[in-house]
């Protein structure tokens, strides 16, 4: 899809530039072999090539310096990791359960924060901050990165234990969402691709 958009955009810009500045006329002493009735078409073709190169060059710089890919997948022990699944976990007799999380990152980790929205009757038994009702993982700190950017794809798996909080013996079910805190990213949010699933807790 983006290829078609770039092609159309290049053509529009090239047509506008060719109407403003005749590049063949500028180099006419070196390009006398070009027929006059073909100058407009060739002008446009030259500008299309130039504009396409510039656009792709800019996109390449953006991808190398700003583009970020982050995925967070919840999964159960001894089960396949699948970002399209919604694993279901149940509390045991002591009111304890756990889910496993896999973080996978490539790109700029600056200001990346992942939020887990747990119900108020579940308390995590993990080293995680709580902010505005959500539990927060700072991705850069989680991976122990000293620089903002990582060129290679890196991944990390860990347990996320939980315990029931409050009255027990009540049948409940809650789907926990995993989301990216885009407010902290500001404009970088446009260059960040985030994928995640969710998981359900049952009592």
Domain residue ranges of the chain, discontinuous segments joined by +: 2-65, 68-202
Residue 136, both tokens:
């927060």
Rounded CA-CA distance 200/203 in Å is 10
At 12, list the tokens: 């529009």
Residues near 107 by Cβ (< 8 Å), separated by ≥ 6? 66, 67, 68, 69, 70, 149, 150, 192
CATH domain 68-202 topology: Immunoglobulin-like (2.60.40)
Alpha-carbon 141 to chain mean position: 18
Which pLDDT band, with edges at 50, 70 and 90, does 99 fall under?
very high
Judge contact between 194 and 103, C-beta under 8 A: no
Q: Mutual orientation of helices 2-20 and 39-65 as an angle, nearest 10°?
A: 130
Give pTM, 2 decimals. 0.71
Query: What per-residue confidence (pLDDT) applies to 199?
Result: 96
Q: Which two tokens stand for residue 43?
A: 């002008």
- The per-residue pLDDT for 171 is 83
């Amino acid at each position: 899809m983006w290829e078609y958009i770039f092609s159309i955009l290049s053509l529009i810009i090239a047509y506008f530039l060719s109407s403003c500045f005749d590049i063949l006329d500028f180099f006419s002493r070196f390009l006398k072999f070009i027929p006059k009735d073909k100058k407009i078409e060739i002008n446009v073709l030259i500008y299309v090539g130039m504009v396409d190169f510039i656009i792709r060059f800019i996109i390449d710089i953006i991808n190398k310096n700003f583009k970020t890919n982050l995925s967070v997948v919840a999964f159960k022990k001894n089960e396949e990791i699948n970002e399209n699944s919604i694993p279901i976990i149940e509390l045991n007799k002591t009111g304890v359960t756990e889910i496993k999380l896999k973080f996978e990152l490539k790109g700029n980790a600056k200001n990346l924060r992942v939020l887990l929205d747990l119900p108020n009757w579940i308390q995590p038994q993990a080293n995680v901050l709580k902010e505005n009702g959500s539990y927060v993982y700072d991705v850069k700190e989680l991976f122990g990165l000293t620089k903002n950017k990582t060129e290679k794809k890196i991944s990390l798996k860990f347990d996320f234990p939980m315990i029931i909080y409050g009255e027990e013996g009540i049948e409940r079910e809650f789907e926990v969402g995993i989301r990216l805190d885009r407010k902290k990213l500001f404009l970088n949010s446009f260059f960040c691709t985030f994928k995640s699933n969710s998981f359900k807790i049952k009592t």
